[in-house]
């Protein structure tokens, strides 16, 4: 007997969405700053641009004018985008301690033995679902420093092992993501370690800002790749959110770049950790926090507390947010992995695929046309999605894509 499958796709409009351009708020993404961030990231020998694929056949199939996907599984051989934040934030922290400017600074300059002689061995600590911690551990090791990484209860053993292979001390806690963050902040304070967290809170804002700037250079790559292809800018960008740093960074750079005709920004979350959805549902748009276990296959998005800066940005520039059940992400993984005719195949993990899963659902499966009209999604739309991770938990990837876990 077939089991009853429950699909949830809920929409919340951002009542405070504004097309007014705020120079102050967006100056962190100005071209010169992100150029410097990107230039630093590019000095690492393992740097390569990740592909921006055009999914022509799928665009035709779901009746949109254009569909592009940035495939972050190719990032620095780490299978996810997150290292773009870690490498820049750790580099900037070390450079600041040495009184060096990031302009024209190379990764190799920070690897020089004199740096360690001056600063001693540093320890960076972070809480993570997997991808961010792996990026931090990798960047710390590349610069000759130590890292300590904690993951929330229920985290994948395969993701833990991947972090340990980067040389970190890493373990899984008995508490959820947000409590693991607090635990790491206390350990940093007690031991004189440096907290490298991808979310900001009152009194902790610099490193999360640098992490967001590190992510924004992916948007810069996308803009360059679209130009190289003589393609028109996207009309819609679907962005998955955990704490929202990634979504806010990409949205911020894109709104800054295309300020005369900004794209529709659509935030996408798991229904078990939909802090942006719940906040946008509030009449006064107050930041809402989700607590508890946040049991979702989208481990990277299982965060209940929006980053305060990201929240400010997305409260202004996002049109709204969709809260989705796990089978929307599983749908995206399967569509990516089984392309139509000449479209390229993309290996996309649970947190990477939810945006494509949602797009497919809205265009092909939903019987509620309002869900497309609230974001003005139609056959003229040019959609951009970012597959933020590959199969970072390969066993679970197979369960979903081969064995049909989380059916629609
Ligand atoms: C693969 C993946 N995609 C998206 C995100 C969301 O990023 P953020 O927490 O900045 O919203 C994460 C976060 O860990 C992630 O691992």
129 lines ligand 1 (CB under 6 A): yes
Q: How confident is the model at residue 1 (pLDDT cuts 50, 70, 90)?
A: very low
- pLDDT in the model for residue 4: 55
Greater confidence (129 vs 344) lies with: 344
Query: Is the dihedral angle over the CA atoms 111, 117, 121, 124 positive or is it negative?
Result: negative
Q: Is 2 a residue whose pLDDT tops 60?
A: no
Q: How confident is the model at residue 3 (pLDDT cuts 50, 70, 90)?
A: very low
Strand ordering across the sheet containing 264-270: 9-13, 318-324, 264-270, 236-240, 382-387, 66-71, 52-54
Q: Is 20 a residue whose pLDDT tops 90?
A: no
Contact 85, 208 (CB under 8 A): no
Average pLDDT over residues 320-338: 98
Contact 126, 85 (CB under 8 A): no
Listed in sequence order, the DSSP H helices in 129-281 are 131-142, 157-165, 177-191, 206-228, 245-257, 275-281
Average pLDDT over residues 26-38: 95
Tell me the best of 149, 242, 318, 357 to mutate to test the pocket of ligand 1, counting ligand atoms within 8 Å of each CB and taking the most: 242
Where in 241-338 does DSSP place strands (E)? Answer: 264-270, 318-324
If you measure from the C-alpha of residue 300 to the centroid of ligand 1, how many angstroms do you get, rounded to a whole number?
5
* Residue 90 CA neighbour count, 13 Å, CB half: 34
Average pLDDT over residues 218-245: 98
DSSP 113-171: HHHHHHH---EEEEE-SSHHHHHHHHHHHHTT-EEEEEE-TT--HHHHHHHHHTT-EEE
DSSP letter (8 states) at residue 364: I
Residues of the chain above pLDDT 70, percent: 99
257 lines ligand 1 (CB under 6 A): no
Q: How does pLDDT run across 251-299, given as a tens digit for each residue?
A: 999 999 999 999 999 999 999 999 999 999 999 999 999 999 899 999 9
Q: Is 105 a residue whose pLDDT tops 70?
A: yes
Domain 9-81+207-401: give its CATH code. Answer: 3.40.50.1100
Q: Which residues of 339-362 are buried (b: 16+ CB within 10 A; e: fewer)?
A: eeeebeebbbbbbbbbbbbbbbbb
If you measure from the C-alpha of residue 301 to the centroid of ligand 1, how many angstroms do you get, rounded to a whole number?
6
389 lines ligand 1 (CB under 6 A): yes
CATH architecture for the domain at 83-202: 3-Layer(aba) Sandwich (3.40)
The CA radius of gyration of the chain, in Å to the nearest whole number, is 20
Would you call 82 a catalytic residue per the annotation?
yes
Q: Indicate the domain borders of the chain.
A: 9-81+207-401, 83-202
388 lines ligand 1 (CB under 6 A): yes
Computed over every residue of the chain, the mean pLDDT equals 95
Q: How confident is the model at residue 223 (pLDDT cuts 50, 70, 90)?
A: very high
303 lines ligand 1 (CB under 6 A): yes
The terminus-to-terminus CA distance of the chain in angstroms comes to: 15
Q: How does pLDDT run across 58-73, given as a tens digit for each residue?
A: 999 999 999 999 999 9
- Residue from 66, 129, 178, 326 carrying the catalytic annotation: 129
Q: Is 387 a residue whose pLDDT tops 70?
A: yes
Average pLDDT over residues 187-205: 95
Q: Is 250 a residue whose pLDDT tops 80?
A: yes
Q: How confident is the model at residue 17 (pLDDT cuts 50, 70, 90)?
A: very high
Instruction: Evaluate whether 9-81+207-401 and 83-202 have a shared fold.
Output: yes
Average pLDDT over residues 78-102: 95
Q: How far is the C-alpha of 53 from the C-alpha of 56, rounded, in Å?
A: 9
């Amino acid at each position: 007997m077939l089991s009853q499958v429950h699909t949830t796709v809920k929409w919340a409009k951002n009542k405070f969405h504004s097309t007014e351009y705020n120079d102050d708020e967006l100056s962190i993404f100005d071209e010169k700053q992100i150029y410097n961030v990107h230039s630093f990231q590019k000095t690492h020998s393992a740097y390569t641009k990740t592909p921006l694929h055009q999914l022509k056949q799928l665009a035709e199939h779901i009746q949109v004018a254009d569909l592009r996907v940035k495939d972050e599984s190719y990032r620095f051989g780490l299978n996810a985008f997150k290292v773009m934040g870690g490498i820049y934030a750790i580099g900037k922290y070390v450079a600041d301690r040495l009184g060096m400017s990031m302009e024209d600074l190379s990764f190799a300059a920070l690897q020089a033995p004199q740096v360690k002689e001056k600063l001693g061995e540093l320890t960076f600590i972070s809480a993570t679902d997997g991808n961010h911690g792996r990026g931090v551990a990798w960047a710390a090791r590349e610069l000759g420093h130590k890292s300590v990484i904690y993951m929330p209860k229920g985290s994948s053993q395969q993701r833990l092992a991947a972090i340990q292979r980067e040389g970190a001390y890493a373990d899984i806690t008995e508490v959820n993501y947000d409590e693991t963050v607090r635990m790491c902040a206390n350990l940093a304070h007690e031991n004189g370690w440096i907290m490298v967290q991808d979310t900001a809170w009152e009194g902790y804002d610099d490193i999360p800002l640098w992490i967001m700037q590190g992510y924004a250079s992916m948007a810069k790559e996308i803009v360059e790749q679209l130009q190289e292809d003589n393609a028109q800018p996207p009309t819609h960008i679907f962005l998955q959110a955990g704490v929202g740093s990634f979504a806010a960074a990409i949205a911020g750079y894109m709104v800054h770049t295309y300020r005369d005709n900004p794209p529709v920004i659509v935030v996408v979350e798991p229904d078990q950790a939909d802090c942006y959805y719940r906040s946008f549902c509030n009449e006064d748009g107050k930041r809402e926090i989700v607590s508890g276990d946040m049991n979702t296959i989208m481990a990277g998005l299982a965060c209940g507390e929006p980053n305060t800066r990201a929240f400010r940005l997305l409260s202004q520039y996002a049109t709204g947010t969709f809260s989705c059940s796990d089978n929307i992400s599983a749908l995206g993984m399967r569509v990516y992995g089984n392309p139509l005719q000449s479209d390229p195949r993309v290996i996309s993990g649970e947190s990477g695929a939810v945006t494509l899963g949602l797009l497919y659902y809205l265009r092909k499966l939903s019987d509620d046309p309002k869900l497309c009209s609230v974001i003005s999604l139609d056959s003229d739309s040019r959609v951009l999605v970012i597959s933020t991770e590959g199969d970072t938990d390969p066993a679970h990837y197979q369960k979903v894509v081969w064995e049909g876990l989380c059916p629609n």
